[in-house]
Copies of this chain bind each other. A is one copy, B any other.
Amino acid sequence: MPKISEKKRESRRQQILEAALACFSENGFHQTGMADIVKRSGMSQGAVYLYFQSKDDLIEALADDRHRREAVLNSVARGSGDPIEGLHALIRVYAQWLTDPAGEARRRVGIHGWAEALRNRRIRASVVEGIDMPRALIVALVERAQHDGLIKRDLGADAVARVLVAIFQGFVLQKCWDEDFDVEACMAAVASVIEGFRTTKPDVGRRTRA
């Protein structure tokens, strides 16, 4: 029974996905040929089509893969007690993800995915869902913080979330374009961003004084 073992099959699949990731990372989806992926994966032309129905299917599989990994990323910051501390935890997780050298290719492909999301419904769904997850998480944290009087009540929780998400999207771009992008330094600024959303202590002090 030469039916390949599930383990082997999954391994082959990963082999192709990794080759595709590397190729897409270097040349984008549409400048990468199946031949490139085939060569890099060390498999034969036909073999790829035993694992993926088409090039688009391959691209979508990578998008789904990314989606799945980010879900894990988000779960880390969940369940923290203090909402402010939760935000900081989230930031730390993403900062780490941003710094990881092994994630370079994935970040680059992510950017290509952003462009692709503009014209491919399936990809857009995956990408948008990918940013809706952390956004929802942040919204929840912010609302709790607002309820506790820790974050200004006149700010939209969604707006706050979008700002934080945007910062990381921009950081991905800047990091990919510029080798010297200093994540550490920027993180300190991000911490201050959160400070900006907080209700100011002095008010309390002044109030007690009064």
| Interface residue ranges of A164-179 to B (CB < 8 Å) | 165-171, 173-174, 176-178
> Which residue in chain B gives the minimum CB-CB distance to A166?
B170
- Asked whether any CB of chain B lies closer than 8 Å to the CB of A140, the reply is no
Give the docked Cα–Cα distance between A177 and B130 (Å). Answer: 12
Contact A26 B192 (CB under 8 A): no
Q: Which chain B residues border A181 with CB–CB below 8 Å?
A: 162
Number of copies: 4
Contact A128 B178 (CB under 8 A): yes
**A-side interface mostly:** helix
Q: Which chain B residues border A173 with CB–CB below 8 Å?
A: 114, 166, 169
Against B, the Cβ 8 Å flags (1 = close, 0 = not) of A17-50 are 0000000001110110000000000000000000
What distance in Å separates the Cβ of A34 from its nearest Cβ neighbour in chain B?
Answer: 14
Contact A174 B185 (CB under 8 A): no
- Asked whether any CB of chain B lies closer than 8 Å to the CB of A112, the reply is yes
Q: Which chain B residues border A169 with CB–CB below 8 Å?
A: 166, 169-170, 173-174
Contact A118 B124 (CB under 8 A): no
The 8 closest A-B pairs by CB, nearest first: A196-B196, A166-B170, A30-B30, A169-B170, A115-B115, A159-B189, A159-B185, A195-B196
